[in-house]
Copies of this chain bind each other. A is one copy, B any other.
């Protein structure tokens, strides 16, 4: 089986890109990744996107983006798994290179969300849920997160303020990331008084949707070592699904898909959570950060929040998370988010993270969730230079 490495990364700032079409937005990240890898030869393109059909009236992004990027004749498709599309598309690229049929693959995550009026973006986001049993009742993603958070607070006797560490850390890290949507600091005492979105979820709990694109290039590890000075090896890769509807899960505080995909990826890499130096997780809500840490083996059930309280998620902590601001401060460009996470892990492992750098980061992990964790994609990476 072919070993696979990342040889190029690119990204745009997350935020409002009203004057940029979706094809241009994708191109900016593609161009940066091609420059980074110093190559123009791509055999397959996997586009990660969730909402272009709804918000830009444009599906068929594989052909659209590859065509616009001048990659005619290549293989190109869209991979969709709600807000886990980025991780899912990366997974397909890994499989493609491992198959030996695709020499060099690119993954580009792109999402344009903010130039919409009314509830268009919320309606599009809701397609990640079970349409017939959740969305039809008017339940929103934030409302589902609120149900999980409320249950967690009840089970473990917590208050809203106990989650503050996640958002404070994200904003502290985001303030050092030039591509972050929010670069302001968040004061711990301000956290619990945020305007409520869906009680107890507040504005300071919930990650903001933003426009953005990110791209990575993969090839065999053997070629990678000849092509670039700092290849990053993909040493674990797994995607798993759970019940899509929250009401169907035996325990709504257990992210089953995250658990399965993390265990599979760890097993493939021969690692344990103790080996991970940086973990880009899916902190769309603070409760999701806590539950991801627990599902992935970094904390026991009910104790994920303590890692935030104790400062263990900071750059010098036991498990640094959201090192570029995470979804909360870097911003959440939905279908592109999983690709941002992987780009950021590579920046860390290449020691190119600037002010966001985690010292001596050698093993990195990215975990992308879709629809309250119905889909989870976990990848493990290692410095290969």
Interface centre among A50, A59, A123, by most chain B C-beta atoms within 10 angstroms, is A59
Please give, as numbers and ranges, the residues of chain B lying within 8 Å of A99 by CB-CB distance. Answer: 1, 94-96, 98-99
Query: Are A242 and B67 also in contact (CB < 8 A) when A58-B127, A96-B95 are?
Result: yes
A244, B80: Cβ atoms closer than 8 Å: no
Please give, as numbers and ranges, the residues of chain B lying within 8 Å of A50 by CB-CB distance. Answer: 59
* Chain B residue at smallest Cβ distance from A243: B67
Query: Are A77 and B92 also in contact (CB < 8 A) when A72-B242, A244-B64 are?
Result: yes
Task: Tell me if A19 counts as interface (CB < 8 A to partner B).
Answer: no
Task: Tell me if A63 counts as interface (CB < 8 A to partner B).
Answer: yes
Task: Tell me if A183 counts as interface (CB < 8 A to partner B).
Answer: no
Which segment, of A130-138, A304-312, A316-324, faces chain B? A130-138
**CA of A54 to CA of B82, assembled, Å:** 14
Please give, as numbers and ranges, the residues of chain B lying within 8 Å of A54 by CB-CB distance. Answer: 53-54
Task: Tell me if A313 counts as interface (CB < 8 A to partner B).
Answer: no
B127, A66: Cβ atoms closer than 8 Å: no
Please give, as numbers and ranges, the residues of chain B lying within 8 Å of A37 by CB-CB distance. Answer: none
Task: Tell me if A113 counts as interface (CB < 8 A to partner B).
Answer: no
**CA of A160 to CA of B91, assembled, Å:** 47
* Chain B residue at smallest Cβ distance from A82: B60
Please give, as numbers and ranges, the residues of chain B lying within 8 Å of A21 by CB-CB distance. Answer: 132
Interface centre among A57, A67, A95, by most chain B C-beta atoms within 10 angstroms, is A95
Interface of A is mostly: mixed
A57, B244: Cβ atoms closer than 8 Å: no
* Chain B residue at smallest Cβ distance from A126: B57
Query: Are A1 and B72 also in contact (CB < 8 A) when A79-B78, A132-B21 are?
Result: no
Task: Tell me if A370 counts as interface (CB < 8 A to partner B).
Answer: yes
**CA of A194 to CA of B79, assembled, Å:** 39
Task: Tell me if A220 counts as interface (CB < 8 A to partner B).
Answer: no
Task: Tell me if A75 counts as interface (CB < 8 A to partner B).
Answer: yes
**CA of A64 to CA of B374, assembled, Å:** 8
**CA of A375 to CA of B376, assembled, Å:** 29
Task: Tell me if A100 counts as interface (CB < 8 A to partner B).
Answer: yes
Task: Tell me if A210 counts as interface (CB < 8 A to partner B).
Answer: no
A130, B64: Cβ atoms closer than 8 Å: yes
Please give, as numbers and ranges, the residues of chain B lying within 8 Å of A333 by CB-CB distance. Answer: none
A57, B135: Cβ atoms closer than 8 Å: yes
Shortest A58–chain B CB gap in Å is 4
Please give, as numbers and ranges, the residues of chain B lying within 8 Å of A248 by CB-CB distance. Answer: 67
Which residues of A (121-167) have their CB < 8 Å from a CB of B? 123-124, 126-132, 135
Shortest A250–chain B CB gap in Å is 11
Shortest A337–chain B CB gap in Å is 14
* Chain B residue at smallest Cβ distance from A44: B239
Query: Are A131 and B241 also in contact (CB < 8 A) when A79-B77, A101-B95 are?
Result: no
Please give, as numbers and ranges, the residues of chain B lying within 8 Å of A126 by CB-CB distance. Answer: 57
Task: Tell me if A240 counts as interface (CB < 8 A to partner B).
Answer: yes
* Chain B residue at smallest Cβ distance from A68: B244
Query: Are A63 and B95 also in contact (CB < 8 A) when A127-B58, A243-B72 are?
Result: no
A244, B60: Cβ atoms closer than 8 Å: yes
* Chain B residue at smallest Cβ distance from A125: B59
What are 9 A-B residue pairs whose CB atoms fall within 8 Å in the complex? A54-B54, A57-B127, A59-B82, A60-B81, A72-B241, A75-B239, A76-B239, A79-B80, A79-B92
Question: Which residues of A are at the interface with B, using a C-beta cutoff of 8 A?
Answer: 1, 21, 23, 50, 53-54, 56-64, 66-67, 71-82, 88, 91-92, 94-96, 98-102, 123-124, 126-132, 135, 237-245, 248, 256-257, 260, 370-371, 374-375
6 more A-B contacts (CB under 8 A) besides A95-B101, A96-B99? A1-B101, A53-B127, A57-B123, A60-B80, A62-B241, A92-B96
